[in-house]
Amino acid sequence: MGGTATVAGRGRKPKPTAKKALAGNPGKRSLNKAEPAFSKITNVDPPEWLSDRASQMWKMIVPELLRENVVAITDLHNVEAFCVAYDNWRMAQESVRQHGIVVTGATGGPMKNPALTAANETMRQMVTFGSMLGLDPASRTRLIGGNKEKETNEFAQLLRS
């Protein structure tokens, strides 16, 4: 089938036009000139409904995302979801620390602490939303384009100037 996904949502995600242009359009395909450009934001406070811990996470990551021009107004729901997942993960971890991995079930026998399931699920959510925002090294490289080594060939630099 030659590079096309047969099921929606599968396959390689398309690269934004700005990233293609920065990379010099290595595929030499025509660039999407109709790509929507959403409003960039310069500062945004955490929503009031976020918990204290989720608000702290917001205040820690949003300035970094804004500095790198990674987040637009349309991405704030992903930031909210990441911060909420982080708070829920911390609560689940605290419960595991307090009650242990194995707890007493309703019948009196040992069972896996349900907080472990919550911790695993919220960690998956953090990974998903974090990768959308470029909060891990691999997705950051895909999102920002990575650190290209500076060319040391003086003649090549002359050709570019």
Q: Does 153 fall in a domain?
A: no
For 12-30, give one letter per residue: b (16+ CB within 10 A) or e. eeeeeeeebeeeeeeeeee
Q: Does 160 fall in a domain?
A: no
Domain encompassing residue 77: 50-144
Q: Does 60 fall in a domain?
A: yes
Q: Does 161 fall in a domain?
A: no
pLDDT (average), residues 82-110:
96
Q: What is the pLDDT of residue 7?
A: 66
Q: What is the pLDDT of residue 10?
A: 74
pLDDT (average), residues 78-92:
97
This model's pTM is above 0.85: no
Q: What is the pLDDT of residue 87?
A: 98
pLDDT (average), residues 122-133:
94
Q: What is the pLDDT of residue 134?
A: 86
Q: What is the pLDDT of residue 147?
A: 43
Q: Does 125 fall in a domain?
A: yes
- Are the C-beta atoms of residues 84 and 50 closer than 8 Å to each other? yes
Q: Does 151 fall in a domain?
A: no
Q: What is the pLDDT of residue 8?
A: 65
Q: Does 85 fall in a domain?
A: yes
Q: Does 12 fall in a domain?
A: no
3-state SS, 6-61, equals: CCCCCCCCCCCHHHHHHCCCCCCCCCCCCCCCCCECCCCCCCCCCCHHHHHHHHHH
Number of domains in the chain: 1
